[in-house]
Each structure stands twice: as structure tokens, then as C-alpha cells.
Homo-oligomer: A and B are copies of this chain.
């Protein structure tokens, strides 16, 4: 066992020189995830899944507080449904997995394993909605989806992943737009307050928007390698799907009208963001709000009289205060090994208790985020730990905010943009004329993309960064996962 733990730490690639390998090492060695037998699939192990459970609990409460209810729609979508909305099928068909046989027979119509559920949900909404009195419909589902991807990485891009997808119907365009932005704000606030990840928000360009949407809004996080990660999207679908699925309602004036729709989703990808925003050379650094374990108690010289008992008392007090705590009382491992393991696993606070600590009525604590040690009185330790965890949560957000703020720069032409991207500057603020050709040029030349058109459109110039023609749209550009 000791040997195994040693390997945990010594085999993590250098975060500064090989960020992609560092990521893979951390997510696998912390036992968050493993590769599934089918290429591109992942097994979410208990330590990773516990993060997802915390994310689900926090988000689900926010969805319900904003009036949404959960439901469950079928995994299999008839091919004919997928084909109804032209842009939608074009966007998703290339990455669909197809079921062709069931119950020992070839199916008359092949079935798509849902890559997203707009089509099947719209078909049901068409049956359920008759009048404005039935609106708004505010549903969400937590489920698995499948998108056949060529290049995959655990949590970031896998053939199957877990997510939630909200699907709403409204009686006016204005109300649908309000809902679209309201859920974007729910995502932003959640990311900031729970994940300690500040998000850039804005609207996607037409090239980058959801297949079938009128407008897509996004939350984008910045990783420590200067690359952006699209972390959640909220779509105003307008009447596109309503028209092809015939979702009509009698409006307040007694006329038949097509419904106005939205959809919005975040996925297990958020777990990848957590790792890449907060991690360090020793492994994961988890914000207390989402950490499976918030504190770990490690006995020092456990064989000495009173140590085990003192540790158990602390564990009980913390648990009683609602803190997710583990007493690591494994007797085959040294404290040092345990320190390494829990650092790799990113537990926010370590609490060491040995004979001398007990004598002096205190414990020695270490914050995972700053690696700073400090004594903490055993008397009233639960309150002190709660306060420390809040402090860690706040400081981690502050650190990530500072990083984000320091990773913006302006570019007036392509040379400046390229230099900034290569220097890992993060987001490039630059003007854009609105032509798809200019957007494509940035992609071709720098492998970077328009992450969003931010809500604050204060211009940084008046010429397109690519073609030099007059431009009045501000875009945040970046390389992205």
C-alpha cells in the first residue's frame, strides 16, 4: 500500500511543462475516473462521482427555487425526429450512436441514442400544451447523453457523459429570452459560489451556437494553461423547434401561436474545470463546497495513549457540525503517506493530532490551497474548521478571479493576437466585423475561436482584428478545450 501511495505523487507530470499529462495523471491517480472498455468512455469512480453529487444537489436546489421540475424522457429517439429540424440534424447526426437491433430483431426505424433531447421533448410538449394556461412549462432532466467523439479526455470530452438539460416553453419571445438569461445567471452564480470558478459570460457567434438555436449564451472558464473551457450553455430556441414539432397554444387573445422555447445544460465537464482551474503540482485542490471530504483527521503516533480517542472526538464534533470529515485511522500507513494521498485528492483542510498537540490542547492544520500550516485549539474546533473552510472557499475564488483578470489582453491585429495566444495570455479582446470568414481565419491560423461576445460591448477599437474593416462587435477569443 505504501508503495502504491508513493507512486501517486511521484508520477504526476509537471503542471508547468505538460499540463495535459498533468491533468490526466491527476484525475486518474486521485481515483476520480478510469477509462471504460469502449474507446472514449469513462468510469466515474466514487471520488469523482461524489463531486457530481454535490454539483447536482446545489444546482437542483437552484432549478427548483426558480420553479423548475424534474422529469425523465426516453434515451432512444427515432431517426425521423432528429431529422425534423434541419440545423439540428446537421449539427448532431455526425456524432450519433445508432441502435439498429432490439429484442433479437432488426428495427424498422433505427434509433438515435440521445445526444441531447430537444426533439423527443418537443414531440411530447406538442401533445401536452394547448393553452397559455399550460405555460410556462419548466422542466429539467438529469441523464446520460452520447456523442461519438474522435478525440476524448476524461470529463472534458467523452462519448458518454452525464448532464442536466432544461427545456422550457413560454408564451412570448421576451419571456423565453428572460428565461435563457436567468438560467445563464444561475450557472454563473453557482460556478462562482460553489465551484469557486469565475466565469466569462456572453453570447456565442452564429458559428459557435447550438444547432437549432436562435441564440446561445455561454459561461466560459479559463484553465491554468490559458485555454478556455465552455462550461455551460443556455439557448433561446425561438420558435424553430415549435414549428417543426407543432407546439402550438391558444394565446390570451384566443389565437393559435407557436411556443417560444429555451434549453440549457451543464455536464460532468464542470468536474474537469474544477481540476484545471484549482489544481497544483501535488494534485487536486478542491473548493470546500464541492469537495467530497472537506477535512481529514490524521493521527500522529496513533499508538500513543489518547491519540486515537482525541482524533475520534474531533471527527465526531466536525460531523456533528455538518462537515464532511474522515478520520484516516488506517494502521498500515504512515502519516506522511496519508498527507501525500489527501493532498493529491485535494481535501481542503488537514488536521493532524499527536501526543504533543493533545498536551497543548490544539491540533495542527494545513490548508490545501495555500499549503500553510497553523495550530487550532481543540476547544471549539468545529466552529473554527467551519470558519476556515469558508475562508478557503473565498480565497480560492479570489485567486481564480485574480488569475482571470490577469489573463485578458487587447489585440488590434492578427500578429498581436497570435503573439498573445502563444504567450498564454488567455482571452484576447478584439473587434470583429461579423463575417464568418474572419472567424474561420482565426481558427485556421491560431486554432483559437470566438468564445463569446461579452454582454459589456465597450469597444477596444473600431476595426476587425482580421480584415481591418469597420467592426463594432467585441469578441473574447481564446484557444479552448
Contacts and interface: CB of A to CB of B under 8 A. Distances in A.
Interface of A: 1, 34, 36-38, 41-46, 49-50, 52-53, 69-78, 81, 93-104, 110-111, 113, 120, 123-124, 127-128, 131, 133, 139, 143-144, 146, 148-150, 159-160, 162, 332
A94 B98 contact: no
A46 B71 contact: yes
7 contacts: A36-B124, A37-B74, A49-B69, A75-B144, A98-B102, A113-B113, A133-B332
A43 B72 contact: yes
Contacts of A102: 96-98, 148, 159
A149 B104 CA distance: 11
B75 A46 contact: no
Nearest to A80: B37
Contact of A50 (B37, B69, B113): B69
Nearest to A109: B38
B71 A49 contact: yes
Contact of A74 (B43, B46, B70, B77): B43
A76 B144 contact: no
A71 B97 contact: no
A73 B272 CA distance: 18
A127 B36 CA distance: 11
Contacts of A148: 102-104
Contacts of A77: 37-38
A144 B145 CA distance: 11
A43 B73 contact: yes
Contact of A99 (B34, B53, B81, B98): B98
Contacts of A97: 76, 99, 101-103, 111
Contacts of A75: 113, 144, 146, 160
A74 B160 contact: yes
What are the 8 tightest A-B residue pairs by CB atom distance, in nearest-first order?
Answer: A103-B148, A46-B69, A44-B72, A41-B74, A36-B74, A102-B148, A98-B101, A97-B102
A116 to B, nearest CB: 15
A124 B34 contact: yes
A210 to B, nearest CB: 20
A403 to B, nearest CB: 31
Contact of A38 (B74, B144, B160): B74
A332 B143 CA distance: 36
Contact of A139 (B46, B98, B111, B113): B46
Nearest to A113: B99
B38 A50 contact: no
Contacts of A74: 36-38, 41-43, 160
Contacts of A159: 76, 102
A70 B42 contact: no
A49 B70 contact: yes
B100 A100 contact: yes
A33 to B, nearest CB: 10
Nearest to A162: B72
